[in-house]
Structure 1
Amino acid sequence: MTNSSRRAEIFVSDGDEPDRRFSGPATGDERRMLSHFLRDQRATLELKCAGLETELSRRSVEPSTLSLLGLVRHLADVERRWFRRVLAGQDAPPLFSSKDDPDRGFDGAEADPAAVATAWEAWRAETAFAERFAYQAPHLDIEGEDSWRGTVSLRWVLIHMIEEYARHNGHADLLRERIDGARGL
């Protein structure tokens, strides 16, 4: 008889360490809850990419250019946009895409160790900035101006980022399963 387990347990269960990604607060301070939910989603992306390097650039199916590396590059640009440009008001152009080539984050994802390292370095720098910004902001109602949404609050950006990661982590589930069969949350 085989020992079957739920799909969600397969990816993270190694027998020694329980999955601690979703152990943030369920009551209390709104900023703390939103920040933990976003941190958990970021950790999920890292988990989906763990142990891979050149495989990160493997595309889903033709003609799509979707890849795990493309997701890392895209999410680095998304973090940069909302936290640096919109909320902090910095002159921070995208790192992997441009107005003329908005899909370069995906299309330009290459199986090159230097490109992979650059993407992770950028993503980590942007998430660190975002976490500091959210922590240091006086309240969740601080606002920034965005060309797409108009006036947005830090609260809206945190909720939007949770949604953005959750959607792309669903893509990451399928991409990772295609690469090596790893499945789960």
Structure 2
Amino acid sequence: MSRRAGLFVPEEEDQRFATPANADERTLLLDLLAAQRSTLELKCAGLTGELADRSVEPSTLSLLGLVRHLAEVERRWFRLVLAAEALPPLYTSPEAPDHDFDGTAGDPASIAEAWAAWRTEVAFGEAFVAAAPSLDVEGEDDWRGTVSLRWVLLHLIEEYARHNGHADLLRERIDGARGM
């Protein structure tokens, strides 16, 4: 007996990857990042408290942890590195570097806060990119040194793609739902 459910969205209705493959660099990068962001939302759609369900012991990986982690990632690269804003991290600290995952709770207020934080950081990133004169805009990072907006966009696509793979497995474990 198979636990696997149908696809989240029928293939013919899925618009996440509808970008022409021969567009200019900026368009391709932004469309691919938007598709990865949409994929995260899709993997979490229709769930409530289950978003905080952990994968397997001892891991603290959960869909809600991924939302919090990716809010933190968006904040770091766009606000802290490229815009050089002096803001604290959303969830982590030197004392609790994994609190984006470890500190999740499945209550409605925690879930709403995580999605609001993620959407706020995504909106900031989108506005930053829209205002950037080119993909050569640079920022300074303690880990990578000087980074360009181009590199940040590529890194975010990679980060979302990797974590969306985790989200696939987490979601399938929760209710059998699967998709691209």
TM-score normalized by structure 1?
0.92
> How far has the Cα of 1:11 moved from its partner?
2.3
Aligned to 1:3: none
Q: Which runs of 5+ in 2 are unaligned?
A: none
- AA aligned to 1:66 is L
Aligned to 1:144: 139
Q: Which runs of 5+ in 1 are unaligned?
A: 1-6
User: For residues 68-125 of structure 1, what are the alpha-carbon distances to aligned partners after superposition, in whole Å with 9 as ceiling and x for unaligned?
Assistant: 0000000000000000000001012211111221100000010110000000000000
Aligned to 1:63: 58
User: For residues 37-91 of structure 1, what are the alpha-carbon distances to aligned partners after superposition, in whole Å with 9 as ceiling and x for unaligned?
Assistant: 0000000000000000100000000000000000000000000000000000101
> How far has the Cα of 1:27 moved from its partner?
1.5
Q: Percent identity of the aligned residues?
A: 69
Distance 1:73 1:25 in 2: 31
- AA aligned to 2:156 is M
- AA aligned to 2:61 is L
Distance 2:112 2:73 in 1: 18
> How far has the Cα of 1:161 moved from its partner?
0.1
- AA aligned to 2:44 is C
Distance 2:20 2:123 in 1: 20
Structure 1 vs Structure 2 CA RMSD: 1.6
Question: Could you list the runs of 4 or more consecutive aligned residues of structure 1 that deviate by over 6 angstroms after TM superposition?
Answer: none
Choose from 29, 43, 54 the match for 2:38: 43
Choose from 92, 95, 98 the match for 2:93: 98
Distance 2:23 2:114 in 1: 35
TM-score normalized by structure 2?
0.95
Distance 1:111 1:143 in 2: 38
